[in-house]
Amino acid sequence: MCLAPGETGLLYTDGITESVGGPVGGGEMLGEDRLHRVLAACAGMPSDAVVEHVHMVV
């Protein structure tokens, strides 16, 4: 699979999907479905902003 210009690839471990909390995380485990929703909300963001947003959720 190749990324087109403007697309972002994100590699993650189960440490992200199994994490709980974060300033905007709401105290629940992230999980893969929620991670997908979080990433969908990052459409158009630069990669460093995507990483920061995911970090704030977890």
Contact 29/58 with Cβ under 8 angstroms? no
pLDDT at 25: 67
Instruction: Quote the tokens at residue 56.
Output: 């704030």
pLDDT (tens, 9 = 90+) of the chain, 58 residues, equals 788 887 888 888 988 899 887 777 677 888 999 999 999 999 889 889 998 998 888 8
State the Cα–Cα distance between residues 33 and 29, nearest whole angstrom.
11
pLDDT at 50: 92
Contact 19/30 with Cβ under 8 angstroms? yes
